[in-house]
Amino acid sequence: MAKQIIKPYFSNWANMEKLVPTEQKSKYLAFRSRYETYLRRVRSLPESPPKIDWERYKKLLPDENIVNKMKSSYEAFQVPFPEDTQTRLIEEQWTNLEPEIKAFCEDIQKDIDEAQKELARIKTLPNFSDMTMEMFGDSYPDLALDSVNKPTFWPHTPQDQLGYKITEAELYSQDDK
């Protein structure tokens, strides 16, 4: 009976182990050990309960009705096995989440592609030690200092320039300090 009830739920431990973060390995190995111990213990049990020799008991006991009652009660007894109501719900959740996961993966893949393009562009730039201010200005026009069109005062931060006005957010952040 035990072999009919239990089936190995986890079959591909190698793939599962790849998904486990390194800081969780000890918990994963403990879980796997407990699971395999439980599975071995259940599989070691016989498939059906042992047969009872009712005739032998009838001979040993003075009243056969006691044995007949016990036999009918024993045969009528059914071990209640819980009905699985959660697997269906989990599968429904999974089918609802799959499109979201695919959309998320596509968005992330777009970000990865953009990052790889940026890395390829950065690799084409000369080394930092070989780059001049003019080269930097050509590569990053929005970040480079333009002393002809937009001259600035040292240290070239917005707060140190003429005509700078403090915003409310900066004003409140200065009060906290």
Flag whether 119 is in a domain.
no
Question: Is pLDDT at 78 greater than 50 in this prediction?
Answer: yes
* 3-state class (DSSP) for residue 53: coil
119 Cβ partners below 8 Å, 6+ apart? none
Greater pLDDT, 31 or 82: 31
**Which of 1-5, 104-108, 154-158, 171-175 shows the highest mean pLDDT?**
104-108
Shared domain check, 46 and 3: yes
As for how many domains the chain has, the answer is 3
Identify the domain containing residue 59 by its residue range.
55-81
First CA to last CA distance, the chain = 72
Distance in angstroms (rounded) separating the CA atoms of residues 92 and 100: 14
Flag whether 171 is in a domain.
yes
Residue 78: how many other CB atoms lie within 10 Å: 6
Residue 137: how many other CB atoms lie within 10 Å: 14
